[in-house]
């Protein structure tokens, strides 16, 4: 982040340290939720999912495009 900090507008997070604290807090909350409500999570390996077509109206993943770029090409996303 140090090298890329000029690429961001620091209105919501005032600095890198504020962003770091927020991300760590979010990570801890997510881990706690997974421990407390493990039945709500379904471990899978993309691109195969154990759900029927049309079972969901929408699926959101914040890092999907970046995390699977080595396995899922442009045509997949189209």
Q: Does the pLDDT at position 58 exceed 90?
A: no
pLDDT of residue 45: 80
SS3 at position 53 = coil
pLDDT of residue 73: 81
pLDDT of residue 16: 94
What would the pLDDT profile of 4-57 be if each residue is shown by its tens digit? 899 989 999 999 999 999 999 999 999 999 999 999 888 888 778 899 989 988
State phi, psi for 7 to the nearest 5 degrees.
-85, -5
Which pTM value belongs to this model? 0.60
pLDDT of residue 62: 63
């Amino acid at each position: 982040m140090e090298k890329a900090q000029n690429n961001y507008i620091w209105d919501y997070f005032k600095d890198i340290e504020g962003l770091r604290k927020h991300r760590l807090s979010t990570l801890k909350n997510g881990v706690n939720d997974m421990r407390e409500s493990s039945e709500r999570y379904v471990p899978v390996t993309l691109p195969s999912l154990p759900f029927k077509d049309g079972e969901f109206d929408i699926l959101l993943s914040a890092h999907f495009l970046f995390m699977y770029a080595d396995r899922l090409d442009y045509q997949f996303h189209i």
